[in-house]
């Protein structure tokens, strides 16, 4: 396998407004809790006619408190056009607007349907050595955490689940439970389940590691830092973003934890989530400046001929939860 030169993806061309208005739909999304926008810039093995960046919109269901106050849905998928959303006219804005995306997922979309259509097709590209990035973007409370799949129970419950298991336990029922996907699990656990299934089937020689960072204001914090200083302060020291020809853009000093199965990868994500500064359910200025990036790095061994030059070829899968204020 040769090292592939990854070019920056082009600007997304999939967002097209069907009406003559110049107003942006972002105001409608931010003023209502009915929708969530997820952006998926993806590098693929060959050029696609729709470009290497795909944009998907997921419309979340009304929350109980919204139903209680008879809130109205502001956006819906256009009937007969699966990739078009329609902004519902209101008393304040009587104009109907339509927007076209690569994917539009209605309120009834299940987590497995979302993964199968939006992310699963790119697994082959990832295993062939290409970087893949998924970005969940939307207002706080719009459903990004649920979509990505890193929602958590209470801190005490999580602590019990992480430390109750003995490292030497060989209970087969525990292993089976770790490999079972719950219907509510989102893109990250489904990707990890799919990835380890594929790797185990192939018998390939590979090394995997994960990292988890938070961008808070202008600072980058390591969510997997387990040093004494970090434990004392409950917060890691800010890290520096670097760039060079060998590594490209990277974060100096970021912890990378080796993992051998989905359970270990998910455990690290849960540990990092416990360290997050932002409470995902609170809408405030602090939360709107915080973004989390969970990265899975796979290093695949190449053929003997290529190994004389470069024995290991790394590539990354990045999952980003980006808030908007």
Ligand-binding annotation for 248, yes or no, is: no
Burial class of residue 215 in the structure, from the number of CB atoms within 10 Å of its CB (0-12 exposed, 13-18 middle, 19+ buried):
middle
Q: Where are the beta strands (DSSP E) in 217-311?
A: 219-222, 240-244, 248-252, 257-259, 290-301
Ligand-binding annotation for 282, yes or no, is: no
Q: Are 98 and 84 in contact (CB under 8 A)?
A: yes
Ligand-binding annotation for 140, yes or no, is: yes
Q: Where are the beta strands (DSSP E) in 161-239?
A: 206-216, 219-222
Continuous segment of H or E residues that includes residue 175: helix 172-178
The first and second tokens of residue 130, run together, are 């290409």
Instruction: Name the one residue in this structure whose structure tokens are 């089937």.
Output: 201
Ligand-binding annotation for 246, yes or no, is: no
Alpha helix segments (H runs only) across 179-294 = 187-202, 228-233, 262-275, 285-288
**Residue 270, number of CB atoms within 10 A of its CB:** 17
Ligand-binding annotation for 275, yes or no, is: no
Ligand-binding annotation for 51, yes or no, is: no
Ligand-binding annotation for 149, yes or no, is: no
The first and second tokens of residue 125, run together, are 């590209």
Ligand-binding annotation for 300, yes or no, is: no
Binding-site entries: 138-145
Residue ranges of the annotated binding site for ATP are 138-145
């Amino acid at each position: 396998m040769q090292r592939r030169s990854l070019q920056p993806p082009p600007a997304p061309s999939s967002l097209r407004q069907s009406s003559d208005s110049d107003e942006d739909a972002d105001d409608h999304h931010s003023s209502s809790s009915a929708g969530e926008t997820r952006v998926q810039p993806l590098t693929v093995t060959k050029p696609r006619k729709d470009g290497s960046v795909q944009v998907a919109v997921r419309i979340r269901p009304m929350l109980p408190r919204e139903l209680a106050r008879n809130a109205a849905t502001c956006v819906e998928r256009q009937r007969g056009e699966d990739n078009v959303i329609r902004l519902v006219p209101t008393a304040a804005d009587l104009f109907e607007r339509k927007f076209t995306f690569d994917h539009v997922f209605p309120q009834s979309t299940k987590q497995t349907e979302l993964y199968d259509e939006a992310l699963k097709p790119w697994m082959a590209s990832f295993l062939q050595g290409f970087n893949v990035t998924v970005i969940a973007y939307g207002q706080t409370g719009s459903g990004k955490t649920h979509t990505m799949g890193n929602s958590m129970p209470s801190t005490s419950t999580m602590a019990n689940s992480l430390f109750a298991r003995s490292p030497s336990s060989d209970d087969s029922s525990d292993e089976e439970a770790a490999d079972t996907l719950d219907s509510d699990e989102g893109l990250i656990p489904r990707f990890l389940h799919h990835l380890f299934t594929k790797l185990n089937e192939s018998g390939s020689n590979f090394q995997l590691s994960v990292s988890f960072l938070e961008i808070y204001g202008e600072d980058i914090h390591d969510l997997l830092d387990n040093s004494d200083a970090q434990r004392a302060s409950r917060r890691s020291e800010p890290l520096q973003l670097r760039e060079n020809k060998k590594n490209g853009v990277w974060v100096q000093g970021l912890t990378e934890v080796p993992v051998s199965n989905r359970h270990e990868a998910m455990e690290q994500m849960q540990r990092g989530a416990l360290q997050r500064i932002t409470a995902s359910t609170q809408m405030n200025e602090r939360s709107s400046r915080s973004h989390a990036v969970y990265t899975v790095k796979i290093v695949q061994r190449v053929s003997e001929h290529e190994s004389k030059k470069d024995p290991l070829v790394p590539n990354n899968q990045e999952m980003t939860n980006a808030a908007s204020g």
